[in-house]
A and B are shown apart, each in its own frame.
Chain A
Amino acid sequence: MNVENFIGSVKVTDNAAFIENTEKRKALHESLKLKSFPKVKDEEWRFTKVDSIFDKAYMIPSIDKDFTIEKYINAKDYAGVVCYKNGFVIKIEVTDLNFIIEPLSKIDNSFDNIFKTQEQVFVELNNYFAVGGVNIVAKKNAIISKPLLILYIIDKDNVISSPRNVINIEGGANVSIEEKILCNSKIESLTNALSYINIEPNATLNYYKIQTGSDICNLFDTTYIKQQADCNLNIFTLSLKGRFLRNNLRIKLDGNGANANMYGLYIPKQNEHVDNLTYIEHAMPNCDSNELYKGVLNDSSSAVFSGKIMVCKDAQKTKAFQNNKNIVLTNTAKINTKPHLEIYADDVKCSHGATVGQLDEEALFYLRSRGIAKDDAKQLLINSFIDEVVNNISYEPIKDYVKESISQKI
């Protein structure tokens, strides 16, 4: 299906709901007409086909504010909550006033130029269809221990939702944000989320993406992050459930001494497909990046990891490490991994590694010889494999939740 037909096929209940005005949407429509959905010929989409996702008819419902937060979370665990329902922002609640959150009234495209990408069509589709978005600011020097929650709820069939978050972490602030997607398991949906994050000098952001979709939900998640001098980022992309998940995570280390840690976990089962694209650009000297993505593949699932480290010409004294490790449990699962390095500076220390393997038979035997049942022993080994990622989560309630979700699934 081409993009124009796809746009035409989306049923809109309320034409006044869009963030963007008619004129801007018209221009977007013109631009989208010329675009096409990515094909496997495109380097960044070699192992992920999107055709079947866009062949379906989606709809944008009208706003429905009916919502009981307690059904999903314990609000006391958070410094604030932003809740999207079927793409509409239906609730903004802030308990720690160092967070300032406002609904988006227009779309700021200033971030789009940082990364020229193959997911431009998804960015524009998000702009075109967005009915809800928020602007989040963490105030200067604010130190907030509880995370802010951004919740995506999908509860209507065939919904296309396009949430949009613009986040600015001001200088010296130290905050955490948790982003969670929840959908009813009988509901087919498409979420095309977009987040722009700017981290000012000397700030720290812990960002947790917890993707617990349904067996028939599809998610494209695009996150662009700009890091200024001496700031820190710890970002977790935890793909726990969802028929189709594609994460585009692009980070630009745009200030001296910035530091990024990227962790990822995917545990697909049945026919689930998880595709993680990460791109980290070292644009300035003395920056460190460290990336660890791990996957456990079961049944007929498939996963893709495409990591690229780009070290630009002036980014001397760069340290960049990337590692992707996979365990394949069945003969029908498929994994593709592309750990790529592109380096134009000479005073650098970079390394990457990728492994694909199975559970260690000897370790398994060792455990069994100590009387542990085979399945339990397997579980133990898988958990210890996964823990290398999960144990980096510094906020205990999130760590517990993630561990619980993992053990339910595996």
Chain B
Amino acid sequence: MLEINNLRANINGKEILKGLNLKIKEGEVHAIMGPNGSGKSTLSSVIAGREIFEVTAGEIIFHNKNILNLTAEERANEGIFLAFQYPIEIPGVSITNFMRAAVNAKRLYNKQEALSASDFLKLMKEKQKLVELTTSLVNRSVNEGFSGGEKKKNEIFQMAMLEPSLAVLDETDSGLDIDALRIVANGVNKLKNPNNSYIVITHYQRLLDFIVPDFVHVLYDGQIVKSGTKELALELEEKGYDWIKDEYHNK
């Protein structure tokens, strides 16, 4: 469903992604690991269509369509979801209103009618339960005054609402205690099905105990330098990244 070929991207003239390749099929979970500054968050931003990054070469094929010319909201409506590492606060805008705008935008995009208020509220209730999000949170403004854990749970809740075919979880585990981590991971696992895929970006193998990846990739210097199965993550946890860097530089 997703094919990234020779992707190169700059920010302020500095090249961050330097010819990245990645292929993901329906139903797969891919973990992307790597040291700080290797380009992990840039990759998620570029897939989602953030304009501050300039794509200089390559292509991103999603459902047989090159999406590089689509705007961020078009990509979202095509089924790409980004769970942000640092979800931004939007004061005064309740999660309910926010999600209603998003869900209906997607329905409009797919030429469906907007949900009625009662159907929408029903959907909210159902998904809230799925990701164990309390009602009091849903009535608050988007991310305003949320703890780190609440923000991440809110991201997963939004994912549940929007039912993307590709979800990119950008360091969703950072700043979470073990209980919050379990809730977030459970949410993801419940939403997993043979038709949707995940890119899980993380520093730590810990999250991968809960969300078990089919493949693990190491991103370094803007490229994927090593790929393997979940055992690779354990190896990285144990040995760090230096051996990968050495291998890469000796090439």
- Direct contact, A vs B (beta carbon within 8 Å): no
Chain B contacts to A: CB under 8 angstroms: none
